[in-house]
């Protein structure tokens, strides 16, 4: 994956670590990516590798500390329906921004600032997002 920022567009970078073939037997995987959120925007950004209908554990942590951090459990059983999202833990940054996620119907999981940075001026804030699942 690659990352770009241009004209308000936000990118994602990442890699996937798998265990097993994923065909016929249970296989766990862990996908680590970097997601960039604009510090003064509530816009949602897609998180990669969550387009399959399944259950995932998602860990969000800042690349630069101090920063917002959270953990989520998400599940979706059908592409035509929104997935269920449960925030397990969450902690805001020292500049007040907080992160949240949603899983809309027919879409990958998405992340946003649910509270924007105090004094934000449109800078990008990078977050490491680890997606853990079983295939």
User: What's the whole-model pTM score?
Assistant: 0.78
Domain tally for the chain? Answer: 1
Q: Where in the sequence is the domain holding 81, given as residue range(s)?
A: 12-134
The per-residue pLDDT for 41 is 96
Residue 127 CA to residue 135 CA, distance in Å, equals: 25
Task: Tell whether 1 is covered by a domain.
Answer: no
Pair 40, 121: CB distance under 8 Å: yes
Pair 97, 11: CB distance under 8 Å: no
* Chain segment 4-53, per-residue pLDDT in tens: 333 443 444 444 444 444 444 566 778 899 999 999 999 999 997 776 78
The per-residue pLDDT for 34 is 96
β-pair type (55-62, 69-75): antiparallel
The per-residue pLDDT for 52 is 75
Task: Tell whether 128 is covered by a domain.
Answer: yes
CATH number, residue 39: 2.60.40
The per-residue pLDDT for 78 is 86
Task: Tell whether 4 is covered by a domain.
Answer: no
Task: Tell whether 34 is covered by a domain.
Answer: yes
Task: Tell whether 16 is covered by a domain.
Answer: yes
């Amino acid at each position: 994956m690659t990352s770009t920022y241009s004209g308000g567009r936000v990118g994602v970078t990442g890699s996937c670590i798998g265990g097993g073939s994923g065909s016929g037997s249970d296989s766990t995987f862990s996908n680590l990516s970097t997601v960039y959120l604009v510090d003064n925007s509530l816009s949602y950004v897609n998180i990669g590798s969550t387009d399959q209908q399944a259950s995932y554990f998602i860990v969000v942590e800042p690349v630069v500390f101090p920063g917002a951090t959270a953990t989520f459990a998400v599940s979706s059983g059908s592409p035509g329906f929104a997935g269920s999202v449960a925030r397990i833990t969450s902690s805001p940054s020292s500049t007040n921004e907080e992160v949240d996620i949603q899983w809309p119907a027919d879409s990958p999981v998405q992340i946003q600032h649910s509270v924007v940075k105090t004094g934000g001026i449109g800078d990008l804030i990078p977050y490491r997002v680890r997606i853990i699942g079983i295939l």
